């Protein structure tokens, strides 16, 4: 083979490799964009698929002297007497003085499609003056729903994450020892009937209502099914009608569409928690051209009172306290920064950080920007 033919073959290989690389990059870019989107199942709730709240009243026994004092908690004494009488023990005329029993409220979430005999976690919280639930055992406690019916029964040892250590001059408390959990302590006794497969229509409720997001969900579903089965009824609801291919099989339809990816859209918001000083700015927050100046003013007041008393062996005079107050005012250098119109979130944050301000001052600046009409976003105060 001549050198000329060898060069031609090498050129063809390089050209083929370049085309393959270009195709790979072209395929990789949509994939990366798709991975950045959210699944429909992550942005909506399906109608009827929800938890139900359960609550009950019970007793925790076996505490090491950290339970309710029966004299201060009459409901604990009455519950203990009623329980013992059901077990054949008569204590009506007995002065009970035990401190290893605590009255508690028991709460749990009944998940959707929970079947008879399955188990759920329950939470236990004290009602009286019990100090600690460590080592206690929850006795059989019926858990009721909003309709007053019993859907679960709970019992088991209480797991407490906190503890208390007390001495003569100090007390150390970690966590909340008066609340705990009973893992898998609740047994489902009654199911909530809900036949999803027989439904012909299903409403998808957006977790964050938005017109654009709702329309994108409906368009993605219709493009996948190749039929107009989804309709946006309002910013928070998309109505899905089962097409002919999914007649009497709504579960299969939801399983197919919940993996579809869409790009959620939200209005520009600035969330401010004035209690903790936390500020969260949305990606679409924009500002008009504005100049910001922030000055640091520190006022320090120091009290150093002095005691004035008469000379030794003086016949007259009283000892008095003479106040001494010192006030220092320090005004820091004020910086002026210009924030250009239409900047993105990163540029806005950089512009505010260039002023060297604290989160508290940034809250005031954001509110002033909104008042001036330069901040194109909604401010939400928590």
Q: pLDDT tens across 204-237, in order?
A: 999 999 999 999 999 999 999 999 999 999 999 9
Distance CA 224, CA 260 (A): 8
The whole-number pLDDT of residue 226 equals: 93
Query: Quick one: DSSP state of residue 159?
Result: B
Statement: the pTM of the whole predicted model exceeds 0.85: no
227 close to 256: Cβ distance less than 8 angstroms: no
Query: How many CB atoms lie under 10 A from the CB of residue 70?
Result: 20
Helix residue spans in 174-330 (DSSP H): 211-225, 250-257
* Virtual torsion, Cα 67, 72, 76, 77, nearest 10 deg: 110
Query: How many CB atoms lie under 10 A from the CB of residue 66?
Result: 20
Strands (E), 115-189: 119-126, 137-144, 150-157, 163-166, 171-174, 179-188
The whole-number pLDDT of residue 341 equals: 63
| Nearest alpha carbon to residue 343 among 305, 287, 303, 298 | 287
Distance CA 283, CA 43 (A): 18
Query: Which stretches of the chain drop beneath a pLDDT of 50?
Result: 2-35
Neighbouring residues of 176: CB distance < 8 A, sequence distance ≥ 6: 161, 162
The whole-number pLDDT of residue 46 equals: 94
């Amino acid at each position: 083979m001549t050198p000329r033919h060898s060069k031609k073959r090498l050129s063809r290989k390089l050209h083929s490799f370049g085309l393959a690389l270009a195709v790979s990059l072209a395929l990789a870019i949509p994939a990366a964009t798709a991975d950045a989107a959210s699944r429909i199942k992550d942005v909506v709730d399906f109608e009827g698929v929800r938890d139900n709240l359960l609550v009950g009243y019970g007793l925790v026994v076996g505490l090491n002297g950290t339970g309710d004092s029966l004299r201060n908690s009459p409901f604990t004494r009455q519950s203990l007497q009623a329980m013992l009488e059901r077990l054949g023990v008569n204590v009506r005329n007995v002065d009970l003085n035990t401190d290893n029993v605590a009255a508690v409220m028991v709460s749990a979430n009944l998940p959707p499609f929970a079947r008879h005999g399955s188990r759920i976690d329950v939470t236990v919280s004290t009602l009286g003056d019990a100090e600690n639930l460590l080592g206690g055992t929850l006795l059989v406690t019926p858990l009721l729903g909003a309709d007053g019916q019993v859907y679960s029964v709970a019992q088991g040892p209480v797991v407490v994450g906190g503890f208390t250590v007390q001495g003569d001059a100090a007390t150390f408390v970690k966590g909340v020892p008066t609340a705990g959990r009973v893992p898998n302590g609740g047994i489902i006794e009654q199911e909530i009937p809900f036949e999803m497969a027989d439904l012909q229509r299903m409403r998808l409720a957006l977790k964050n209502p938005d017109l654009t997001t709702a329309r994108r969900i409906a368009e993605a579903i219709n493009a996948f099914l190749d039929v107009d089965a989804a309709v946006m009824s309002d910013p928070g609801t998309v109505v899905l009608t089962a097409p002919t291919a999914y007649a009497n099989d709504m579960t299969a339809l939801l399983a197919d569409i919940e993996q579809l990816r869409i790009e959620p859209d939200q209005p520009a918001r600035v969330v401010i928690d004035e209690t903790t000083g936390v500020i969260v700015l949305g990606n679409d927050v924009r500002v008009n051209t504005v100049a910001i100046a922030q000055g640091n003013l520190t006022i320090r007041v120091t009290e150093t009172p002095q005691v004035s008393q008469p000379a030794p062996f003086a016949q007259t005079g009283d000892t008095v306290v003479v106040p001494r107050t010192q006030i220092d005012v320090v005004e820091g250098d004020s910086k002026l920064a210009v924030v250009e119109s239409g900047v993105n979130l990163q540029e806005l944050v950089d512009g505010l950080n260039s002023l060297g301000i604290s989160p508290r001052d940034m809250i005031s600046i954001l509110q002033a920007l909104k008042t001036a009409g330069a901040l194109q976003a909604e401010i939400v105060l928590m």
